[in-house]
Structure 1
Amino acid sequence: MELVWSPEMASKVFIDTVNNCINFQESDEAEMISAMAGGWNPRLIVEAWLGGSEITTSIGLEIAARNLGGRYVCIIQNESLRSEFVAAMEEHGLPVPDLMVGEAKEVMARLPEVEFMVVDGRRKDLRELFGVAKLSHRGAVLLCKNATRRRMVGFRWELVIGKTARLVRSVIIPVGQGLKIAYVKENPEYEKSPSKNHSRWITKIDRKTGEEHVFRG
């Protein structure tokens, strides 16, 4: 069964996020992201947080996960940022979600069936985070915020998601500092590929010596 859009839940989560972010001057991006998370009804929401003053998206995702009864995991690079995140959420009277501290490859390996993922475009490990994510067989929605940053030059979803997934559609929305969104599904061709689990033995003959060389390709 694929991810199914629910406009009713999207609307409910949007309103709850607006009410919780009423004291923030700019919260349009967070409200949109949270509404999308609510509408797609993901079972696992993942955010890669960078730090700083941008806590509104995390607030919106926590609200979405709570309404959906799903799991929200926030990936943080070090213990200092972890303390900053916890303090920010508690300041607004919100529960702290599951926090995972560490490098992208190590952390994402422990998170199977990702269905909704948000990464700050200012993170240096941006491409790696998306690239190593184990996406759900139901499909996944991937979002990159702060997408107009210099680090995003040359960014293409097709190059990031790898061979295990295929891009169904993508869009760029001019909210905040730019929001890149992609909807992806499993790539059936990858499952059929013999190179996925099996390597080939290749034989080469040295014309000068006549020796046969065999190596794994």
Structure 2
Amino acid sequence: MEDSNIDTSTTTSETIAEEVSLFSMPDIILFSLIVGLLTYWFLFRKKKDEIPEFTKIQPTASSVKDSSFVEKMKKTGRNIIVFYGSQTGTAEEFANRLSKDAHRYGMRGMSADPEEYDLADLGSLSEIENSLAVFCMATYGEGDPTDNAQDFYDWLQETDVDLSGVKYAVFGLGNKTYEHFNAMGKHRHGQGVRGGDGPPEELPEPETPL
């Protein structure tokens, strides 16, 4: 009888030892860590996820379309601005050359994409002594403005522009073989006359296609 009890006790001890050996120390630590994290999450998590509040990014001065080209000219000491309406880059290149060549006549120029500025600022150009605005305008398609001059074109059509005292010149780029040769140059010239800034009544057209 005693031997039977000893065998039973020995078997039970071996079984317990065998079960304990199934969990090594790293397993026990990992299990405890998981239990701790789950407990923390359930006890301390927020009742409701908060929607993050995004701060509206204020545009910088350089990215704002209505930046003042007149103020820029004043700060940089320039008195000639050459706007270009360009589709393929020819008018833009010509405007850059014109603005750089201004120094030959004792003046300082800059070229400008009309899409990047508020053209209503033209009325303030006369604040600069001996100032001049030049428009190098190419014609696109069937007498249409180039993409970068579309807003400028619409603005001229829809706005009562007062350009009194503003001196300007128009250079239309095109080819006489086109059905709508120099349409944008003629349009800009006509708008300027109505604005009262006094260019020639007749816009001369070069005999040689450009």
Task: Indicate the structure with greater strand content.
Answer: 1
Specify if TM > 0.5: no
Task: Indicate the structure with greater helix content.
Answer: 2
Per the normalisation by structure 1, the TM-score is 0.36
Q: Which one has a bigger Cα radius of gyration?
A: 2
